Amino acid sequence: MATTYNDLYLDIRQQLINHGISQPSLEAREIVAYVAGKTREQFFRDARIYAPDNVVQGSFELLERRLKGEPVAYIIGEWEFMGIPLDINSNVLIPRVDSEVLANCAIEWVKSKEDCRVLDLCTGSGSLGIAIAMHTDVSHVILADISPKALAVARRNIRRHNLSSRVACVRTDVMRPASISLGQYDLIVANPPYIPSGDIANLDPSVANYEPLEALDGGDDGLEFFRSIASGYFHLLKSEAALMFECGMGQSNAVRDILLRNGYSEIETFQDTLGIERVVAGIHT
Ligand code: GLN
């Protein structure tokens, strides 16, 4: 029997549901639209059109890979963050919905100031810094990472969104104190690796087996990057500037202490939609 794009989408979605995958509608749509070579808008527009056999077959082949654990973002080479499509590959973490809390805090901060300079540490694909640049008129955003392969992805995303006049990349190792040649900032954001080393083996296999370990492993207690950034980047913050961290479930009190011990004040935490304290922010007074 002939299959419409919508039938195909529903079939794929049902299989994803049967396998307990958490965003079945989104993933099914991404798989079918990618194989059909359609944008999301074209996919919705063409939902009632019959799908060619090669699209049906191709979609089930990708479904097979997904069900073996490979994340859809790596299969299709793209993922959306804050409504922005980004190039993604296995050298960078897939942007999480969780990180929208930090993105929104940062965007609000930038909008409340005039002409901010922003530094995004452990940037990976560039998702946070690029979201800040696209959702504000900020004139100066630096995306920093230790991984040249991650920076190559971040650079592609800067070009993809025509941000070269406002956003640039730099290679930095945040486990060492920052050189003052990096400049002075009104806002530093970071979503560093924060999974305790001993917990890596317990992550979902589609994370542990596919995503870059160096973007996840936060050392013995998961807090090493927070300590190093809080102390080693303090002197890059202008007076009244903010440092904002994303942290993992149950880490916010420890991160708050790290900020206090390093001389930050006005510490605030922000929750995600599940009520988990996801962002800890402090001010350099
Ligand atoms: N939130 C990510 C996860 O749970 C971890 C991100 C990070 O370590 N920065 O997989």
Tell me phi and psi for residue 186, to 5 degrees. -90, -20
Query: Degrees (nearest 5) of the Cα angle 97, 256, 276?
Result: 35
Q: For residues 44 and 2, what is the distance between their CA atoms, to the nearest angstrom?
A: 18
The rounded Å distance from CA 194 to ligand 1 centre is: 7
The rounded Å distance from CA 214 to ligand 1 centre is: 11
Please give the pLDDT value at position 107.
98
Please give the pLDDT value at position 48.
95
Pocket test for ligand 1, best of 97, 121, 195 (most atoms within 8 A of CB): 195
The token pair at 7 is 């039938």
In tens, the pLDDT along 218-255 reads: 999 999 999 999 999 999 999 999 999 999 999 999 99
Q: Beta partners for 280?
A: 245, 269
Q: What percent of the chain has pLDDT above 70?
A: 100
CATH superfamily ID and name for 91-284: Vaccinia Virus protein VP39 (3.40.50.150)
Pocket lining for ligand 1, CB < 6 angstroms: 96, 98, 191-195, 207, 216
Contacts of 196 (CB under 8 A, 6+ apart): 218, 219, 220, 221, 222
Please give the pLDDT value at position 171.
98
Residue 2 has pLDDT above 80, yes or no: no
Helix (H), strand (E) at residue 120: strand 117-121
Q: Strand 265-271's sheet: what is its strand order?
A: 167-171, 140-145, 117-121, 185-190, 237-246, 277-284, 265-271
In tens, the pLDDT along 140-197 reads: 999 999 999 999 999 999 999 999 999 999 999 999 999 999 999 999 999 999 999 9
Please give the pLDDT value at position 22.
87
Contacts of 144 (CB under 8 A, 6+ apart): 119, 120, 121, 122, 123, 169, 170, 171, 172, 174, 182
Residue 262 has pLDDT above 70, yes or no: yes
Q: For residues 92 and 279, what is the distance between their CA atoms, to the nearest angstrom?
A: 21
Please give the pLDDT value at position 285.
87
Q: Among residues 233, 118, 104, which one has the least CA distance to residue 186?
A: 118
Helix (H), strand (E) at residue 147: none
Place 5 in a pLDDT band, splitting at 50, 70 and 90: very high
Pocket test for ligand 1, best of 79, 92, 96, 247 (most atoms within 8 A of CB): 96
Place 129 in a pLDDT band, splitting at 50, 70 and 90: very high
Pocket test for ligand 1, best of 101, 147, 194 (most atoms within 8 A of CB): 194
- Which protein residue has the closest C-alpha to ligand 1 atom 2? 216
The rounded Å distance from CA 31 to ligand 1 centre is: 24
The rounded Å distance from CA 101 to ligand 1 centre is: 13
Rounded mean pLDDT of the chain? 96
Instruction: Give, in order, the Cα–Cα distances in Å from 52 to each of 32, 35, 115, 162.
Output: 11, 11, 51, 35
Burial-class residue 115 by CB neighbours within 10 Å (0-12, 13-18, 19+): exposed
The rounded Å distance from CA 216 to ligand 1 centre is: 6
Place 1 in a pLDDT band, splitting at 50, 70 and 90: low
Between strands 117-121 and 185-190, the pairing is: parallel
- Asked if 252 and 207 count as a contact pair (C-beta separation under 8 A), the reply is no
160 three-state secondary structure = helix
In tens, the pLDDT along 265-282 reads: 999 999 999 999 999 999
Residue 207 has pLDDT above 80, yes or no: yes
Place 40 in a pLDDT band, splitting at 50, 70 and 90: confident
Residue 58 has pLDDT above 90, yes or no: yes
Residue 62 has pLDDT above 70, yes or no: yes
The rounded Å distance from CA 249 to ligand 1 centre is: 10
124 three-state secondary structure = coil
Spans of all domains in the chain: 5-68, 91-284
